[in-house]
Amino acid sequence: MVGGKNPVRASKVLFFFLAFVFLAARSADACSLPQGKFSYDILNDNTPIGGAWIDFEREGTRTKVSTLIKVKVTLLYLIPLLNYRHQSEEIWETDVFQSFDGKTVDNRREVAIRIKPNSHGPNGQSLKVNRNGSLSEIETPLFSQVIWCKETLRHAQLFSPLKGRMKAIRTEDMGQAAITIRGQTHQAKAFALIQMRKGKPVRTDLWYGEDGVILKARFPSKRGTIVTFLRH
């Protein structure tokens, strides 16, 4: 996979993807987990740079969610500029979050994160986070996933499992929209998610399919390119 002269920084790509995987939500907003496998192409200014794969494997009341994200950028097809890989596993019981265990390698820099709910926290809903052996606790409701639960977009904060902290957001409902992916037209529900980056608002556009799962996501990189996720 090849990037242009302004390759997107993979940590920002993966931060977005995982951040919009992990959005804090009250239990009343929780959605049922989907079933099956979902895959996405990752493009930087329409140039393929990687992919994302999410597998929901249900066995009785227990669901394992396996995520793999790979981004690779080279210069002139020869010189490696970026090699990024994230792999994680979540466990849910009766659609209630139980654990997250993930590892990210960004050009040989490794980050390992483990997250579990802490029922004995101040409000009974805090999270215990282990980031490369450094422990912390965050007061937040249970996780819900923006990829397959657009109801969580009503909340004002999202959680990044890469950085282990909450980020403020605001969301605008953009209504119904028809989008075309690989020549096929889909009816979608559109949202704009806005967060601040160095004092400036940055907008991410999200489109949900009729099955409630993200079809497309698009946002600007720090280098001014446009990063797009397209579902197969």
Domain 10-231 has CATH 2.40.360: yes
Average pLDDT, the chain: 81
Supply the pLDDT for residue 33: 87
Query: Does 38 score more than 80 pLDDT?
Result: yes
- What is the rounded CA–CA span in Å between residue 12 and residue 8? 8
Supply the pLDDT for residue 197: 82
Delimit the domains of the chain by residue range.
10-231
Mind listing the pLDDT tens digit for each residue in 140-156? Answer: 644 446 777 888 787 77
Mind listing the pLDDT tens digit for each residue in 187-209? Answer: 999 999 998 888 899 999 999 99
- What is the rounded CA–CA span in Å between residue 73 and residue 59? 37
Q: Which of 208, 202, 206 shows the shortest CA–CA distance to 220?
A: 202
Q: For residues 132 and 166, which has the higher predicted lDDT (pLDDT)?
A: 132
pLDDT confidence bin for 25, thresholds 50/70/90? very low
